[in-house]
């Protein structure tokens, strides 16, 4: 039985960001916003037809028009893996979708976001209703079934976003899905070279997009660690701790 309300709170806020000296040339922000809209409109027409191929292309194009360079390191994801990553920004969704076909696990609010929510839905996203903690076991069961069917699932076990300098602790609930399905767990580290990318505090999605578009450049690095292979009946808390430790994170205390 999985108990507890998965609604962690981040202590990060506007004070965590530092974008000094990294502003793009005048007019670049506007051009990027227009290009981003064009990619979304064109991509969402093709995505329902092409699905996985189109979604990866859309995600990569969205990152490119925003001036974001994506660096990928580490072992490739294998089908049927649970990918667990730290959470900094809405951009994390695009980063993960750009590197591999995955089903995302996301908070229910993401489904209502313009563009991003549609892309997540087309990926087969599993949305968590954080106002209904009793529904969490159903979500875990859905993730386990997806893993058993050979789908790769990506989740953010911190449960909320942090600035990147600070991290939250990995909540163990979704790791139970990997234990139940006998699926490998692939820890992933997402790092931006500017805290301006962080989606934290009282940020709105529009404000965050504009701030990112206004940067001269931004590099995001996704590093996957070797897969962890839980034994039958493994403790999800120990698995969560091992996953976060393998990312090199120093804050991997677990929730009760």
Instruction: Please give the average per-residue pLDDT across 135-153, as a whole number.
Output: 93
Q: How far apart are CA 222 and CA 94, in angstroms?
A: 11
Q: What angle do CA 5, 9, 13 make, to 5 degrees?
A: 165
Say what the pTM is.
Answer: 0.86
Instruction: Please check the confidence at residue 11 and state whether its pLDDT lies above 70.
Output: no
Under a CB-based contact definition with an 8 Å cutoff, are residues 158 and 167 in contact? yes
Q: What angle do CA 163, 253, 3 make, to 5 degrees?
A: 100
- DSSP H helices, the chain, are 28-50, 52-65, 91-99, 116-122, 136-148, 175-181, 205-213, 236-246
pLDDT of residue 250: 34
List the structure tokens of 205: 């999605």
pLDDT tens digits, 160-201: 888 766 778 899 999 999 999 999 999 999 999 998 999 887
CA-based max dimension of the chain: 57
Among 115, 110, 144, CA closest to 128: 110
């Amino acid at each position: 039985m999985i108990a507890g309300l998965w609604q962690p709170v981040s202590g990060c806020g506007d004070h965590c960001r530092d974008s000094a000296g990294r502003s793009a040339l005048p007019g670049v922000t506007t051009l990027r916003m227009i290009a981003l809209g064009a990619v979304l409109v064109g991509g969402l027409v093709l995505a329902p037809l092409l699905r996985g191929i189109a979604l990866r292309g859309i995600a990569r194009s969205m990152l490119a028009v925003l001036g974001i360079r994506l660096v990928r390191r580490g072992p490739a994801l294998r089908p049927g893996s649970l990918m667990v990553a730290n959470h900094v920004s809405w951009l994390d969704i695009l980063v993960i979708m750009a590197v591999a076909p995955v089903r995302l696990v996301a908070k229910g609010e993401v489904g209502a976001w313009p563009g991003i929510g549609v892309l997540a839905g087309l990926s087969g996203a599993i949305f968590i209703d954080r106002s209904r903690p009793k529904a969490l076991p159903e979500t875990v069961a859905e993730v386990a079934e997806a893993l058993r069917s050979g789908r790769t699932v990506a989740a953010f076990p911190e449960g909320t976003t942090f600035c990147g300098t600070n991290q939250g602790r990995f909540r163990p609930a979704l790791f139970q899905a990997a234990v139940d399905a006998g699926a490998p767990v692939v820890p992933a580290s997402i790092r931006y070279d500017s805290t301006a990318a962080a989606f934290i505090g009282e940020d709105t999605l529009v404000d965050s997009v504009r701030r990112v578009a206004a940067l001269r450049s931004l590099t995001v690095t996704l590093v996957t660690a070797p897969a962890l292979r839980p034994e039958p009946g493994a403790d999800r808390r120990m698995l969560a701790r091992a996953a976060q430790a393998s990312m090199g994170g120093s804050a991997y205390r677990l929730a009760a």
